[in-house]
Amino acid sequence: MSGVGPPPVPHSRPWITAEDEAAVARCLRSSQIARGTEVAAFEADLADLIGARHALTTSSGTQALWLALDALGVRPGDEVVVPTYVCEAVAAAVRQCGGTPRLVDVAPGWRADACAVAAALGPRTRAIVLVHALGVYTDPSPFLALGPPVVEDFCQTFAPARFPPRGAAAVYSFHATKCLTTGEGGLLTTDDDAVAARARARSEVTGGLSDLQAALGRAQLARQPAFAARRAAIAEHYLEALPRRLTTDYDAVRRDSMGFRFLLTGIDFDTLRRVAGARGVAVRRGVDALLHRRAGLDDAPFPVAADLLARTCSIPAHPSLGAPEVTRVIEAVRAALEAGA
């Protein structure tokens, strides 16, 4: 025995194939690697797929959100409604415009809560960020009816044909841990000519994607049907193999999920992390921390988010997982249950 086990199963991993390598190599050989025709073609592909009048690639999802909020007029003293159950980047984008995040609770099923947003509106509200978190889509209709412009954050939910954006703007992330990747990168879409023009003017100063990244993005975009099929197959496998009580909550939202995350509840996170980690399998919480806790606020106004943070375990479900890795994840969850998780 060498004592060397199989390689770790990471929680996220980009799915890079020979097609991606060939596309990037082609771009390299062309010597046109700065922002140029590949970026323009990627933006055209994305606008077409998403059904948006304008698509502007950016250096990150955070930059896309910042540019969207800035173009919608968020200025110092303004409030932007943001869910507490989200990564810090969303609050950072609001602050980048000089705005103040007005944090609200979420709804069960990892969804945005229109009632919580409505209760948070006030004279200083300039925009609402509706986050489609963890791959789960929330119907924007009740948010759009509230009045302030809605920016839909699709950074964790790339399935535009199924879930087309309907707000004043939408943002996406192409980070290596996201649904499709350009290494780092993002996208802002809008039907509003003035919003697009302001965001594009700003991005010319602050930077965006290169052709090298766009070449990778276009190759990844072309394979989205394969990504979706693989995610669906992995989810089916988990649903069949894992005890029902761990998957009931996720199963309830599955028809509104594009499968970015596979979420377990009813299992102790710390035990799962310890036992799975010892077997080389990485698991995460749904989010690492709640924004209101980072801001030093009490849990009382955010009971659903506090409950979701405590109960949600995200297991590897990225499309690059091979069958033996999926089996190792299942065995790790079973071992954690045996260890009392």
Ligand X SMILES: Cc1ncc(COP(=O)(O)O)c(C=O)c1O
Residues that bind ligand X in the complex, under the rule CB under 6 A: 60-62, 65, 86-87, 89-90, 131, 133, 153, 155-156, 173, 175, 186
CA distances from 315 to 9, 108, 257, 260, 328 (A): 10, 19, 15, 11, 11
CB of 90 to ligand X, least distance (A): 5
Decide whether 57 or 341 has the Cβ nearer to ligand X.
Answer: 57
**Distances in whole angstroms, Cα of residue 268 to Cα of each of 303, 307, 310, 313:** 19, 13, 9, 8
Smallest distance, ligand X to C-beta of residue 129, A: 8
Q: State how far the Cα of 166 lies from the Cα of 259, in Å rounded to an integer.
A: 21
Which of 61, 149 has the CB closer to ligand X?
Answer: 61
The nearest distance, CB 306 to ligand X, in angstroms, is 19
Angstrom distance (rounded) from CA 84 to CA 91: 9
Cβ closest to ligand X, residue 66 vs residue 238: 66
Q: Go through the chain and tell me how many residues it has.
A: 341
For ligand X, give the closer residue by CB, 155 or 219.
155
| Closest chain position to ligand X (CB) | 61
Least distance in angstroms from the C-beta of 235 to ligand X: 20
CB of 69 to ligand X, least distance (A): 12
Query: Considering all CA atoms of the chain, what is the largest pairwise distance in Å, rounded to the nearest integer?
Result: 68
What is 289-305 written as a DSSP string?
A: S-HHHHTT--STT-HHH
- Tokens describing residue 247: 């998957």
Based on CB atoms, which residue is closest to ligand X, 60 or 84?
60
